[in-house]
Homo-oligomer: A and B are copies of this chain.
Amino acid sequence: MPGKKVTPRRRSGCPLNASVEMLGDRWSLLIIRDMMLRGFRSYKEFLDSHEGIATNILAGRLRTLQAHGIISAGRDPSDARKRIYRLTPKGINLAPVLTEMVLWAAAHEETGNQPLVRQMRADKEKFLAAIRERWAGTAIPRK
């Protein structure tokens, strides 16, 4: 049975508002970044890495990101304990959003990961194409 629709009640019909309601918190975009740019796929990777998300928050975010159709979850055939999270096409399409946010911050704040920033600045379209390419055959997890 297909899940029942979550949160039909939007504050407004504005597309920006829709984005903010799905992504406007302190963790969602970082999780998506870890999947998209770092190739993270398991709960433990998200938990150990990046900015130190709390385990209950991570579980909640993974749930709502799934509910919004941005990520999907499956089982690891080689280890039944593991779940494998990956971006849906909708999630992959967030690449331009992430890119612009990275470029904006890099232009106005002192930030790290300059190699990434340089790569994005040098040829944005090429960078985005590379991400799409990398995620093209995502049905079967690598390795």
Contacts and interface: CB of A to CB of B under 8 A. Distances in A.
Interface residues of A, number: 46
A139 interface: no
Given A97-B101, A108-B90, A24 B14 contact: no
Contact of A51 (B12, B96, B102): B12
A20 interface: yes
Contacts of A109: 15, 18
Interface string A105-119: 111110111001100
B105 A15 contact: yes
Contact of A108 (B93, B100, B112): B93
Given A18-B111, A109-B18, A29 B33 contact: no
13 contacts: A12-B51, A13-B112, A13-B113, A14-B51, A14-B112, A15-B102, A16-B33, A16-B105, A17-B51, A18-B111, A19-B105, A24-B25, A25-B26
